[in-house]
Each structure stands twice: as C-alpha cells, then as structure tokens.
Amino acid sequence: MQNLDGITRSDQHRALGLSTFAFTVCFAVWTIFSIIGIKIKQELGLSDTQFGLLVATPVLTGSISRVFLGIWTEQFGARIIFPLQMMITAVAVWMLTTVHTYEMFLVVALGLGLAGGSFIVGVSYVSRWFEGKHQGTALGVFGVGNVGAAVTNFAAPFLVVAVGWEGTAQIYSIALVITAVLFFILAKPDPEHERRQVTGEKHVSIAEQLAPLKSLQVWRFSMYYFFVFGAFVALASFLPRYYVGAYGMELTTAGVLAGLYSLPGSVFRALGGWMSDRWGARFVIRLTFFVSLIILFFMSYPGSHFIVDGINGSIEFDINVSISLFVGLSIILGFVMSLGKAAVFKYIPQYYPNHVGSVGGLVGMIGGLGGFFLPIAFGVLLDATGVWTAPFMLLFVLVATSYIWMHLAVRRIDCIAVSA
C-alpha cells in the first residue's frame, strides 16, 4: 500500500520501528546515572547537591545538542547523524570506567549526554515518513522510546549487583555500538533528503531554519515541554534516590518502584499522540496540567505530626503519604506526562512543517534543560530545607505557572479570532 508520495506502509513501519528502538537504547543510556550515580555518590562521598549536578550533567549536553543535531539532521539526514551520535556517545560511556575524580566524572558525563540529543534526530526523521493527520500518532509511538528510562530503572540495579557499576556502563556502551551499526545498515534515507539529492535543491540555510524561533508561541511550547519532559527526566533520575532516602528502600527495590513511574511515562506517549490527533493537542495538555496539579499537591505534602488541644486534652496524629499511595500517584503522574509530551510535539509539524528540526530542537532543548536544572534544584532544596518532599513543591509551582500562561495565551488567541 502506498500513499500519495510513493512511500509504502513497509517503509513507514521500518523508519518508525528502527527510530523507536534506537531512541529507547539512547534514552536508557541517558538516564544511567539514576542508578550507577548512587554507587558513585557513595564511593566519592558526594552531597545531594553534587549528586544532583552529576545526574543532571548528561541532560545539559542532551538538551543543547538538540538544536544543532536537529539542523544537521535536516541537512545530512538521520541515516548519517543518528549512528554518528550513538558512536560518539558509546565512547563516552566506556570512558566512565576509566575516571576516578568527581570533576572527571562531570566531564565524561557531558559526552554521555549526547544520547539525549537522539530525540530530535528521530523526530525529524519519523515526521518525514507520515502525512500530517497521522504524525501525532507516529511521533507518539516514537516517543515510547522514553521507556529506556524504565529499562534502566528496572534492569541496571540488577546489573550493578551482578557486574558492578563499571561493568554496567560497559554493557551499555556495547549496546549503543550495536544499535548504531544496525540503524546505519537497515535504515533508509528520509524521502525529503532523497528528493533534495535527486533535484539538486539547496539545503535551507541555518538562518531560515532558525527564523521561527522569534515566535513567542515556540517558547510557550518550550515551557510546556520543560515540565512534561524535563520534569519526567528529572524524576526518573531522582526517584531512586528519593525511595532510598525517604523510605529506606534497597537500591534494587527503589529502581523497580522508580521504573513503575517511568514505564507509563513512556509507553502511553503513543496514546497521547492518538488523542492529540483526535481531540487536539490543546485539550491533552490542559488535561495533563490539571491532573498533575492534583497529584503534585499530595506528593509534595511532607510527613507531619500534629498536636491539637482537644476538649479532654491533647490529641496527637500523623499525616503521611504511604509508600503504596506515593507509588500509585507517581504512576498516574507519569501517565499524564506521557500524554503531554506527545501533545507538545503534535504542535510542531502542524505549525512549522518546514522547520521541524530547528523548532523541535529548541523545544526539545528547553525541555531537556528542565532535566538539567531540576535535579540540581532538587539537591539544593534537600540540602537547604531537609524536607524530602520539597522537590515536588517546586514542580507544583512549575505546573501552576505553565497552566496560567496557557490559559492566558488561549484566551488571547480566542479573543483575536472572535474580533476577526
């Protein structure tokens, strides 16, 4: 079966399947410090702030790199850029086992962070194979690659127990190399890149690719993604530490419980894409923010002991979020965040079809920076307040701010439409 551009359904499935698999492997690597970082923290005697910076450093590179990786993908094609990015990342992951100081771990973590840049390469590649009415669903399926965080949370603790954190890093490095080779061999050049090669059409200049970034709308989309993706990455890295510290869990148990958050935060992204195609991205993002506000209110409530002067004397009672309730709330939060991630990227090919790489790169970068700054902020809040739930208070404020901005922007757009 072919669409109007002569692309077969088999071509679409091949492009989507290979991209999703490669992104899953890259995302698993990108979040590896959520597990091995705990062992490194113990070995080096790091504070929570130092640990937060270590976990966040790969996210910085993965975020910033999305801008130039998106531009390069539009110029040279994902079949070249994707394997090259994975090979460079694999070298950095292997180098983790050769360094011994905190400063050098941070330097190597910058290289490891290129794994996060794979997202915009895949978005640019996948969007070329599907017509507009199916792009939300296709990109939602591709976004399921976020499940790599769950793979790390579930599997890496057991690998650390079996072969140590150094052996775990080496296994991840080898997996990246194998994935890079398979993608280069099996993937086809995207149709737009092939068309330009055949016609001799010049590539769009960098200035033209960056022109849409002047729009405030692009930055608003970036703010949404700062929460739905940046906070997702931050929590995927922070929750194992939270479970170990706040509830006294073993690392393996903490990893599994954190994986229960990461899993729905990944696999339901396809559902978010389908919902965005059917009911619109605006509806899905509103739903995400509304539910997140409720969930984060309960997650941010610190364990408290109250003494009330009663009629017959003092009455004492405790209010705590039990481990089972907290895990349940985290699963729901991960689910709605997955819907929101898909909805944001439904907007981009819809409003900027000729600048998916550059606009998507900026939105992805800002979102990824959330995954950089938030873990650091979490560590600072923990060191400064000594309250385990302080990071969730910060996220509550972030969602509330995003929701208000969205409400005001939509009202403005609707008023302009009515007056016109």
pLDDT tens for residues 194-248? 666 666 555 555 566 556 566 667 778 888 889 998 898 889 888 988 898 888 8
CATH number of 9-188+208-303+320-419: 1.20.1250.20
The fraction of the chain above a pLDDT of 90, given in percent, is 26
Residue range 373-397, pLDDT digits in tens: 888 899 889 888 888 989 999 999 9
Q: Which pLDDT score, from 0 to 100, does residue 209 have?
A: 57
Whether 420 shows a pLDDT value over 60: the answer reads no
pLDDT averaged over every residue in the chain: 83
Instruction: Give the residue, 195 or 129, on which the prediction is more confident.
Output: 129
* Domain boundaries along the sequence of the chain: 9-188+208-303+320-419
Residue 7: pLDDT band (50, 70, 90) is: confident
Of residues 231 and 270, more confidently modeled? 231
Q: pLDDT per residue over 64-80, tens digit each? A: 887 788 778 877 888 89
Give CA–CA dist 389/292, Å, rounded: 15
pLDDT of res. 3: 46
pTM attached to this predicted model: 0.69
Residue 242 CB neighbour total at 10 angstroms: 22
